[in-house]
Structure 1
Amino acid sequence: MFAVSLGDGAELRPLEPWHAGEFLSHIDRGREFIGRYVGLPDSVTDLESSLAFLRAYAEKAASDTGRVYGIWVDGELAGGVLFRTMDVPKGTAEAGCWLEPSAAGRGLVTKAVRAIIDWAVEERGIHRVEWVVSSENAASIAVARRLGMTKDGVLRESYPYRGRRHDMEVWSVLAPEWRAGRSD
């Protein structure tokens, strides 16, 4: 197992099926906050669905098509980042995140996503990393900006969620841009 320090008692680690109980407790603590823009709390509702979600990402990791990592703060799971999709032959991936309120505002998502993009670009040869976010999610858009991503466009009313359609913004960073930004 590995852990990447995010500073101030926080670390990034693989989130695996054996974490299902801890993952469910974490989702329960942040269910309303996380669910404002992300459907994860709607699909992880009990131990069985928590285990199924983590097993699906274990299968994605085994087939090299996705990854999920937890953010632990002082030993407690407080959020996560992932590659929702990853197509190594095409060199593309879509990153995402979630966080419970107790860990918000500390820069943890930015640090964690930076770590996984570094890995994807340098170790897996990913050329384009996307970030798809609700136009209403100012905090997530701020992460994209801090990571040096470019807003590619808006998919108008493309995401039906909780009874209404949301505009989704697509942000991205290309490997050469990522490397240039890391050397600043």
Structure 2
Amino acid sequence: MFAKSLGDDGAELRPLEPWNAEEFLAHMDRGREHIGRFVELPDHVTDLPSATSFLQRYADKAAADSGRLYGIWADGTLVGGVMFRIFDAAAGNCEAGCWLEPTSVGRGLITRALRLMIDWAVEERGMHRVEWVAGADNTASLNVARRLGMVREGVLRESYLYRGVRHDEEVWAVLAPEWRRLREAPAARRPREGPAAPVTDP
């Protein structure tokens, strides 16, 4: 077990594992409407067995080195999460995503958590490309990509079928050399933090 500090406000990044299922379900119930505006996660996590199953799926991915899932705790309460939905170590490619309760929006928690994750993926695991896919109408999610210094690469037209409606998705990414340059840049030149919203399917 470990926790990574996300700053001076006491927020922490920790592994989100099957034994956290009750806390995870309570968190999802609090944020269900907000999180479900753009992503399927609340539709998959509706009771304790489904919450456990979702967390076990990512525990299995972690064991297979094909994905990762972490929770964000603020003031001792689980308020959101970040993930590597896809993690292909052999190819050097991964896809990141997140979600957040509405009460914790605007604190920069997602941006701070993802910076830690991308640093780990690039520097510790040798990832070359970190991808971000979000609905074209999910402005807060697209702003996360901008704050992380990612490059908008294109639009997948009507590629995401969600609750009977097809949505365009935008693809953003940052490459390892770009990430290192961003991390070395003076703080004044880095994109500023701001609100974040749920951004990816499970």
Do both proteins adopt the same fold according to a TM-score greater than 0.5, normalized to the shorter chain?
yes
Aligned to 2:29: 28
Aligned to 1:136: 137
Cα distance in 2 for partners of 1:9, 1:32 equals 26
Superposition map of 1:72-91 within 5 A: 72-91=73-92
Cα distance in 1 for partners of 2:106, 2:35 equals 14
Gaps of 5+ in 2: 186-202
Aligned to 1:159: 160
Aligned to 1:38: 39
Q: Secondary structure at the match of 2:37?
A: coil
Superposition map of 1:63-78 within 5 A: 63-78=64-79
Q: Secondary structure at the match of 1:50?
A: helix
Cα distance in 1 for partners of 2:169, 2:51 equals 26
Which whole-Å deviations, capped at 9, do the CAs of 1:30-55 have from their partners, x for residues lacking one? Answer: 00000011110000000000000000
Aligned to 2:4: 4
Which whole-Å deviations, capped at 9, do the CAs of 1:57-111 have from their partners, x for residues lacking one? Answer: 0000000000000000000000000000100000000000000001111100000
Q: Secondary structure at the match of 1:130?
A: strand
After TM superposition, the score normalised by the length of structure 1 is 0.99
Q: Secondary structure at the match of 1:159?
A: strand
Cα distance in 2 for partners of 1:37, 1:5 equals 28
Q: Secondary structure at the match of 1:85?
A: strand
User: What is the deviation of 1:163?
Assistant: 1.5
Superposition map of 1:93-172 within 5 A: 93-172=94-173
Cα distance in 1 for partners of 2:10, 2:101 equals 16
Letter in 1 for 2:141: S
Q: Secondary structure at the match of 2:6?
A: strand
Cα distance in 1 for partners of 2:17, 2:166 equals 32
User: What is the deviation of 1:2?
Assistant: 1.4
Cα distance in 2 for partners of 1:6, 1:163 equals 37
Cα distance in 1 for partners of 2:10, 2:139 equals 26
Cα distance in 2 for partners of 1:14, 1:32 equals 24
Relative contact order higher in (CA < 8 Å, ≥ 6 apart): 2
Letter in 2 for 1:6: L
The yes-or-no answer on 1:51 pairing with 2:52 is yes
After TM superposition, the score normalised by the length of structure 2 is 0.90
Letter in 1 for 2:5: S
Identical-pair percentage: 69
Aligned to 2:184: 183
Which whole-Å deviations, capped at 9, do the CAs of 1:110-134 have from their partners, x for residues lacking one? Answer: 0001110000001111100000000
User: What is the deviation of 1:6?
Assistant: 1.2
Q: Which runs of 4+ in 1 moved over 4 A?
A: none
Cα distance in 2 for partners of 1:139, 1:114 equals 17
